[in-house]
Amino acid sequence: MILRCDIVTLFPDLVLPVLGQSMLKRAQEKGLLEARVLNLRDYTLDRHQVADDAPYGGGAGMVMKAEPIFRAVDALRADYGEAMRVLMPSPQGRPFTQQVAEELSVERRRLVFVCGHYEGIDERVRTGLEPEEISIGDYVMTGGELPALVMVDATVRLIPGVLGHPESALAESFADSLLDFPQYTRPAEVRGLAVPDVLVSGNHEAVRRWRRKEALRNTWLKRPDLLRDRLLSDEDRRLLDEVMQERANVCDVSGGGRLS
């Protein structure tokens, strides 16, 4: 099933080049993604195509007007009906995570991103459209275009058929609430640094076990919060014990990951 993404923006040129490259381009060529960019100026009501104005109450900056956004979303609703999901990138939204990307990739496959800019969007868009506000992190960006592209990218690559190797998405960081294992490529030695022997051993079971152990090590050292409250299989428990033991052997375990 095709994923349809519409990006409603005042700055189409910020979005279009990214949609025309790499995996997003391939997904469109394969008919798995239909991406459209709606220029808010086309939905303005005056001949100067004004889409922003000064804030009521005074203060710096400009605020995006509500009516052009309502009109753009009305036009999409006329195409899609109620099946579409309206998302509003916002630093005030719920955090965007791999889980949210998975959700977007399987549920209601018509996503509309309403991108803010300047000081933000007239609040009546939020109360009138009741979009889902989603944040890509606790920092403030200039506009919603890059956050929308982040979400489209992370979502599209989960659609079956988009990635050349579907198993890649299954093995990556967060797919299993673990960070990914380290990757290596040729040559076998770079500036005196060798690739781990096990990866050139040809022993598939040993490679699988090594990768699992290194994924656990990465997670324990870099994001121990992901392991908290997680039920580990017997094998994972054993591998993690080995990781902790190895760490204890090389240092006093004063820094680094702890489970609690």
Ligand X SMILES: C[S@@+](CC[C@H](N)C(=O)[O-])C[C@H]1O[C@@H](n2cnc3c(N)ncnc32)[C@H](O)[C@@H]1O
Cα diameter, the chain: 73
| Structure tokens given for 101 | 């990307």
> Which residue from 23, 62, 100, 141 is in contact with ligand X, where contact means CB under 6 A?
141
> Which residue from 12, 68, 131, 143 is in contact with ligand X, where contact means CB under 6 A?
143
62 makes contact with ligand X (CB under 6 A)? no
121 makes contact with ligand X (CB under 6 A)? yes
Q: Which is nearer to ligand X, 32 or 141 (CB)?
A: 141
Find the shortest distance in angstroms from Cβ 186 to ligand X: 38
120 makes contact with ligand X (CB under 6 A)? yes
> Which residue from 1, 60, 78, 140 is in contact with ligand X, where contact means CB under 6 A?
140
Site string (82-101) toward ligand X, x via CB under 6 A: -------xxxx---------
Q: Which is nearer to ligand X, 116 or 257 (CB)?
A: 116
CA–CA gap between residue 200 and residue 207 (Å, rounded): 9
Find the shortest distance in angstroms from Cβ 19 to ligand X: 18
115 makes contact with ligand X (CB under 6 A)? yes
| Structure tokens given for 174 | 């967060």
Find the shortest distance in angstroms from Cβ 223 to ligand X: 20
CA–CA gap between residue 58 and residue 185 (Å, rounded): 57
User: Within 10 A of 94 (CB to CB), how many other CB atoms are there?
Assistant: 11
Phi-psi region at 227: left, alpha or beta (left = phi > 0; alpha = psi -120 to 50): alpha
Output phi, psi for 135, to 5 deg: -110, 140
Find the shortest distance in angstroms from Cβ 138 to ligand X: 7
Task: Tell me which H or E stretch contains 9.
Answer: strand 3-9
* Cα-to-chain-centroid distance, residue 30: 21
Cβ partners under 8 Å of residue 39, min gap 6 = 9, 10, 12
Find the shortest distance in angstroms from Cβ 213 to ligand X: 35
CA–CA gap between residue 151 and residue 98 (Å, rounded): 10
Please report, as residue ranges, which positions from 145 to 174 form the binding site for ligand X (by CB under 6 A).
Answer: 147
The DSSP call for residue 14 is: H
Contact indicator for 201, 238 with CB cutoff of 8 Å: no
- Single out the segment in contact with ligand X by CB under 6 A; choices: 11-19, 137-145, 199-207, 230-238: 137-145
Find the shortest distance in angstroms from Cβ 34 to ligand X: 23
Find the shortest distance in angstroms from Cβ 52 to ligand X: 11
144 makes contact with ligand X (CB under 6 A)? yes
> Where does this chain bind ligand X (CB under 6 A)?
89-92, 115-117, 119-121, 135-137, 139-144, 147
